[in-house]
Structure 1
Amino acid sequence: MGSIYEKALGDAFLNLHPRIRQRFGFNSQDQIASIGYGMMDHIWYSKWVTLPLYVGTKRHIMFPQGGTNIPFMIENFAYVDQFGRETVTWNRQFKFPNKIRRFDATMIYSEERERIVDYLGNKQHLAVDLAISVEPNGGIRIRSRDQRFYEGWLQFPFPRLFTGIADVCEWYDDSEERYKISVAVNNPLIGSVFRYQGTFQTQFVNMKSSVIPLDIKPLREERRE
């Protein structure tokens, strides 16, 4: 069994840089985790979206804070969720001088949608379809598509005019021997709303899925994709 990213990319997965394949190629049966440490050179947000970003901090979905040279950690664990879906965590911490900000997500491969779905936040309120491709430098590019909100009986698709459309690129720089990442979130009406870029290195550690730290998994798992 391959990873959810290998399933999404098919044969194109082999065109990724070997170090990117390593980071995106494991699943729950491999019993390893990818823990990255590094520095975000630049984090920026638009003052026009301060309020919604502030609300997002309560659910670990982005945040209204910027700066330079911000220590960064990313934790990728693979496990099978309560609905039997292969799941990968994307828990990010940004250590600002006065506060630690979190941006958490979990990704699954949806057989129904035939693509990866990204659940944003610690309660999986927002489900986002992802388009994944391989860049010429062997990096991986992840772009958000349709988004849906779930909260109890309430569910609705987000109109694109009111969403943040994410464009994420991650690649490996052989000359610096580091992973590099660039994230840009834009809105069709007001343009750029949030972005960051930086570098990190990764450790691959043995980790049985049964002993994944509780604070890694979301507080609630959502069945609807």
Structure 2
Amino acid sequence: MTRSIYEQALGAQFGNLHPRIQERFGFSSKDQVASIGQGVMDRIWFNKWATLPLAIGSARHIMFPEGGSGIPFTIENYAYQDGYGRETVTWIRKFQFKRAIRHFDATMIYSSERKRIVDYLGNKQHLAVDLDITAASNGGIRIRSGAQRFYEGWIQFTWPAQLTGTADVTEWYDDNRQKYRISVNVSSPVLGTVFHYEGSFDAELIPLKLIPADAKPLREEARE
């Protein structure tokens, strides 16, 4: 039976997650379901010194140079096997600002070679990021980014640590509010905090036979 990529990464720690977090992170392509959520980001903030790289990234659905409070938010997670037969989970995040919908998308796979989840940021899988995943003390899941590799045609290299951002993500379930909570912080050695958002949302598993075509990246990268 195919296990979710998060069960593979966490092993026995998966049992330490809150039951609602286990539900959201425990399905695989064999289950034919999707996790669809919506809520509000209490705060989205970005470092104005990082406006240019964030603007470049926004063209490929990797963060964006915009902030605010009370921002409506949706998240879509689909599990499927990609063109290389890898178990994959999408992260399609949309933020509804007054003048535009901003995207922050990714596809995650479990790399048997690296023994960890690899996160392809954006919609073209140019940037592959190693993830360290642990169970948080509050029953949530904590995801921290590591080494980052760039792939474009025959070009490939690992980004120097000084030029990369480190993402620290925690998602947990708030029993008092009966909502999922999330906090995301991206920082760099040079600029400090580059991008941050936090908020809450509702999510449910829905039956699904086919993954929407626009939920998948525009291209897939074989290199992990």
| TM-score by shorter chain over 0.5 | yes
Q: d(CA) in 2 for partners of 1:57 and 1:166?
A: 16
Equivalent position of 1:131 in the other structure: 132
Equivalent position of 1:213 in the other structure: 212
Q: Are 2:104 and 1:103 equivalent residues in the alignment?
A: yes
Q: Are 2:177 and 1:190 equivalent residues in the alignment?
A: no
Per-residue displacement from partner, 1:138-194 (whole Å, max 9, x unpaired)? 000000000000011111001111111000000000000000000000001110000
Query: AA paired with 2:57?
Result: G
Residue 132 of structure 1: how far off its partner (Å): 0.2
Per-residue displacement from partner, 1:68-115 (whole Å, max 9, x unpaired)? 000000000000000000000000000001100001100000011000
Equivalent position of 2:76 in the other structure: 75
Aligned residues: 223
Q: d(CA) in 2 for partners of 1:25 and 1:143?
A: 19
Q: d(CA) in 2 for partners of 1:74 and 1:51?
A: 25
Query: AA paired with 2:39?
Result: G
Residue 204 of structure 1: how far off its partner (Å): 1.1
Gaps of 5+ in 1: none
Percent identity of the aligned residues? 65
Gaps of 5+ in 2: none
Equivalent position of 1:223 in the other structure: 222
Q: d(CA) in 1 for partners of 2:70 and 2:154?
A: 42
Instruction: State the superposition RMSD in angstroms.
Output: 0.5
Q: d(CA) in 1 for partners of 2:42 and 2:205?
A: 24
Equivalent position of 1:19 in the other structure: 20
Query: AA paired with 1:215?
Result: D
| Runs of 4+ with >2 A deviation | none
Query: AA paired with 2:220?
Result: E
Q: d(CA) in 1 for partners of 2:121 and 2:222?
A: 14
TM-score normalised over the length of structure 2: 0.99
